[in-house]
Each structure stands twice: as C-alpha cells, then as structure tokens.
Amino acid sequence: MSDEKDWYPHPFDERAAFHINLDNNAGDLAAKYGWDAATLASIHADRVWMEGWWQRSVEANAIGKQMTRYIGIVSGNKTDVDAPETVNFKFSSAAPPEVPPGIEARTRALRRETVNKGNYSKADGLLLGFERAASVEKDFSEFIPQIILQTLANYQLKAEFFKQGMDAVRFEYRYKGGDWTPLVDAPASPAILTIPAQAAGEAAQIEIRAIFLRKYKVVGKYSPIYSAVIAP
C-alpha cells in the first residue's frame, strides 16, 4: 500500500485545484480501476462544488476587505476624504449544486480502495494527485490562471487569483489594439495592478491576461483575456 501521508492538501484553494485535477483525469483511468458511472459522477460533483465555492470565497474575501474600508472611512474621524463606494454585494454566479458532507472522507476512501488494487501504479497516483507531488516533477504545461478583477480608483485594479502551487502570477495589459506589456509579477493574492493612464482624468477600457511563474520561469498557458475599465 502506498504511503497516505500528506497527499491531500489542506488550504482550500489547493483542495479545489486537487479536485479539478482529479476530475480531469479520472475518466481516463476509470476502466483500469473499476470506477463506475456513479463514482465518476461523485468525483465530478465534488469538483464542481469545490471549484464553485472557491470562486465564491475569493469574491467574499474581496467584498469583506471593501466593507472594512467602507466602514472604517464612514465611521472614522476624518472629514477631508472622498466618500467610498457603497458596498453592494452579489455573487457573480449561482451557487454550485449541493453535495453530501464529507468530500475529504470520500476522496480518502477512493484513494485507499484504488492503491490497494493489484494493478495500481505510482505514476497513476501522481496523475490523480494520490501521491505526494514532491516525489516527481509535475507537468505544468496545461496550468492556466483564473483571475477576478475589480476596478479601483487611481487607474488601479484589484486582482484575485488562485496560485495552484506556483511561485507567482505575471500580469500583462494592453489598450485595445495595442501590444501586450508586462505589468507585475504577483507572489500573493490579491494583487493591486496600477495601469499607466493614456489620458489623464479619463476612464479607459483595457485588457488583462496572466500566466504562471515557477522557479522564475513562465509555465503553463495564458489565461483568458479579461476586459476591464480603469478610472481616475
């Protein structure tokens, strides 16, 4: 039996990444390990729940910080400051379908069952996330950042993102029709992106994209292109 220690991640963002990866690879190994349609459906449902609530947790964290700033300014002792934007929160998407409690327990049970099969291979375990990643170098060629942008004042954007175990996320920007320009390498979320203004005092439409950095090198693929408005 393979060592079960430490293979299941603890931070919620890393758990979401684990379940995305497991779901992406489970179908290819289902026949080998005897996973039926119900097992695959459960793996997928857990992935949808984890991914959906990770997205919501990022949005809730962002609005929590905005709320703290709003309350601090309005209830504070300064009168010579601009009124902050009123907090009006709504999730960007519907909640994912509910799943039974015990995602971790189900996942650990699936691993125990799988690694005890006579045809189990460590290579398969690494692909599924059932083995500790430190035992082999991962293939990061398909890793793609997912980001959430919020417009701030002073030509700034707040970027929330999911590191997926990488060292940093590199952000690039362009004005419509322009060339991509490196902006910042962000080691932690959220990152504040300051965009050079084309015309002082005017709002503008820009595009943002991102890519992962690992060991000071670009890895994976660029994110989708996100449109955003910057304003003074």
Helix crossing, 12-33 with 37-74: angle to 10°?
A: 170
Give pLDDT, residue 93: 81
Per-residue pLDDT of the chain (232 residues; tens, 9 = 90+): 445 568 999 889 889 999 999 999 999 999 999 999 999 999 999 999 999 998 888 888 878 877 888 888 888 888 887 777 777 778 878 899 999 999 999 999 999 999 999 999 999 999 999 998 654 566 788 899 999 999 999 999 999 998 888 889 999 999 988 899 999 999 989 999 999 988 888 899 999 999 999 988 899 999 999 999 999 9
CA distance linking residue 174 with residue 222, whole number of Å = 14
**Backbone φ and ψ of 212, nearest 5°:** -80, 155
Displacement of CA 138 from its chain's centroid (Å): 18
CA distance linking residue 224 with residue 147, whole number of Å = 9
CA distance linking residue 67 with residue 77, whole number of Å = 17
Residues 6+ apart with CB under 8 A from 146: 161, 162, 223
